[in-house]
Amino acid sequence: MAENTNAFSMAQQQFDHVADLLGLDHQVRELLRWPLREYHLRLPVHMDDGGLRVFQAFRVQHNDALGPNKGGLRFHAAETADTVRALAMWMTWKCAVADIPLGGGKGGVVLDPATLSANEKERLCRAFIRELWRVLGPRQDVPAPDVGSNAQMMGWMMDEYSRITGQYTPGVITGKPVGGGGSLGRKEATGYGVIYTLREAMKCLNIDSTQTTAAIQGFGNVGQYAAKGFISELGGKVVCVSYWDREDRAAYTVYKQDGIDPEFLMNITDQYGSIDKDKAVQADYSIEEGDDWITKEADVLIPAALEGQINAETVKNIHERVKIVAEGANGPTTPEADQVLMERDIFVVPDFLCNAGGVTTSYFEGVQNDMNFYWTKSEVLEKLDDKMTQAFKGVYDMAQTQDVFMRDAAYMVAINRVVKGMELRGWL
């Protein structure tokens, strides 16, 4: 039977498995298996040439027992209602595992953002807010950037919301530009959070991080700062990064045995995470077509692109040297591939723990917006390190005491907190 890579069925399958382990009541499962609310939109937007384009968009609010819904807005041509549902559900677990008082939400617009001009993007962002503003707000639902969206787009959305409500409301959205209500350290936060949890994993496994190498899939926001952090915080070497070339419609792996220079590669990478191949070759990088990142001899794999990338097929290609998979992306590993990782005793730092640095710093951004007082970058990163370290320890302790896989342990910590939150509010 073909492997099911539908993200929402995967998210439900992972949840069902842990609900069994926890012996959750049937009605509680019914509440948590599905989003509490969903909005499906058609957004008419005028293009620069005078024509009209209608965009399909979603906002899903999975569960807000612990606080306002929180989650990014993904602008991607392959976006579907099910992907957004899965991502919203994972946000609920992510906020709970990071122990921040927020619920789970996610949004998406079906389009390739590179096909729009800046003005068209601005009109689309403002149209999205005009349709949804009634169900958004610092105490209701707080979007943020994700794949295909960026700080400037968040700035436009915050402005539209503030205009409609007649009140400057920076806390309605996070990931805003610094100086426009954004937080220092947000740009680095997800990638660095991956590294903080990886550092803790290496301590538990008695691995000397300075002797390690990593292979990374994806060289966008998460991949870039994970690469930087792997070198600056852990003293390790990154041997390759891969990316999706939008012109060639193909994946490439950029490889250097002696270790890549993330700063150099960032300078030749466009805003969508595509690397200039010619410039990389001139600097002695080798370029391989395809998904070879996963086959590389490395101690750590960091998937930081999209979901379903480590699956029943690709998992077979993981090199025997790999000891840890640190999931920067959301849902990069299918349940079938998880089985193989477990059998091979590869330690997994699961996605909603590993990449919780982004939402944690988004939470810090909201706190700073509420106070109207802003922290320095080192204050933000210090607080982030503290939160990520605590979150990792909570999950690792659960894995040890219950003798379960790290992903199951993360789900157990998160589900317990959400169920407790629902009980305290009298929902159950």
Q: Of 319, 43, 365, which is closest to residue 187 (Cα–Cα)?
A: 365
| The one among 240, 306, 381, 388 contacting ligand NAD by CB under 6 A | 306
Number of residues interacting with ligand NAD: please give it, by CB under 6 A.
Answer: 25
346 contacts 299 by C-beta, under 8 angstroms: no
Measured CA to CA, the distance from residue 6 to residue 421 in angstroms comes to 29
**84 binding ligand NAD? (CB under 6 A):** no
Q: Measured from the CB atom, is 253 or 369 closer to ligand NAD?
A: 253
Choose the catalytic residue: 106, 121, 256, 387. Answer: 106
The length of the chain is 428
Amino acid at 208: D
**103 binding ligand NAD? (CB under 6 A):** no
Q: Measured from the CB atom, is 215 or 406 closer to ligand NAD?
A: 215
Q: Of 35, 36, 38, which is closest to residue 57 (Cα–Cα)?
A: 38
| The one among 328, 350, 366, 394 contacting ligand NAD by CB under 6 A | 328
Angle between helices 81-97 and 377-402 (to 10 degrees): 90
**368 binding ligand NAD? (CB under 6 A):** no
From residue 178, alpha-carbon distances to 53, 73, 182, 188, 226 in Å are 31, 19, 4, 13, 21
Site string for ligand NAD, 172-211 (x = CB under 6 A): ------------------x---------------------
Q: How far is the CB of 404 from ligand NAD (least distance, A)?
A: 23
Whether 106 is catalytic is yes
Measured CA to CA, the distance from residue 177 to residue 200 in angstroms comes to 30
Residue nearest to ligand NAD (CB): 220
Q: How far is the CB of 257 from ligand NAD (least distance, A)?
A: 20
**71 binding ligand NAD? (CB under 6 A):** no
Q: How far is the CB of 401 from ligand NAD (least distance, A)?
A: 27
Measured CA to CA, the distance from residue 252 to residue 129 in angstroms comes to 36
Token pair for 117: 């001009």
Long-range CB contacts for residues 249-252, cutoff 8 Å, separation at least 24: 250/289, 250/290, 251/289, 251/290, 251/291, 252/277, 252/287, 252/288, 252/289, 252/290
**218 binding ligand NAD? (CB under 6 A):** yes
Q: How far is the CB of 251 from ligand NAD (least distance, A)?
A: 4
Instruction: Convert 359-377 to b/e letters by CB count within 10 Å (16 or more is b).
Output: bbbbbbbbebbeeeebbee
**358 binding ligand NAD? (CB under 6 A):** yes
252 contacts 289 by C-beta, under 8 angstroms: yes
Site string for ligand NAD, 126-165 (x = CB under 6 A): --------------------xxx-----------------
Q: Measured from the CB atom, is 262 or 358 closer to ligand NAD?
A: 358
Token pair for 200: 């803790």
| The one among 61, 197, 314, 355 contacting ligand NAD by CB under 6 A | 355
Q: Measured from the CB atom, is 76 or 256 closer to ligand NAD?
A: 76
Measured CA to CA, the distance from residue 420 to residue 427 in angstroms comes to 10
Site string for ligand NAD, 248-267 (x = CB under 6 A): ---x----------------
**380 binding ligand NAD? (CB under 6 A):** no
Q: How far is the CB of 318 from ligand NAD (least distance, A)?
A: 16
**Residue 138: DSSP 8-state:** T
Helices (H), 81-117: 81-97
Site for ligand NAD in 8-37 (CB under 6 A): none
Token pair for 363: 């939470």
Q: Provide CB contacts within 8 A for 344, sequence distance 6+.
A: 318
Q: Measured from the CB atom, is 76 or 417 closer to ligand NAD?
A: 76
**305 binding ligand NAD? (CB under 6 A):** yes
| The one among 274, 333, 368, 369 contacting ligand NAD by CB under 6 A | 274
| The one among 219, 230, 363, 364 contacting ligand NAD by CB under 6 A | 219
Site string for ligand NAD, 221-250 (x = CB under 6 A): xxx------------------xxx------
Q: How far is the CB of 54 from ligand NAD (least distance, A)?
A: 24
Beta bridge partners of 347: 324
Burial class (CB in 10 A: 0-12, 13-18, 19+), 44: exposed
Q: What residues line the site for ligand NAD (CB under 6 A)?
A: 146-148, 190, 217-223, 242-244, 251, 273-274, 304-306, 328-330, 355, 358
Could you give the residue numbers annotated as active site? 106
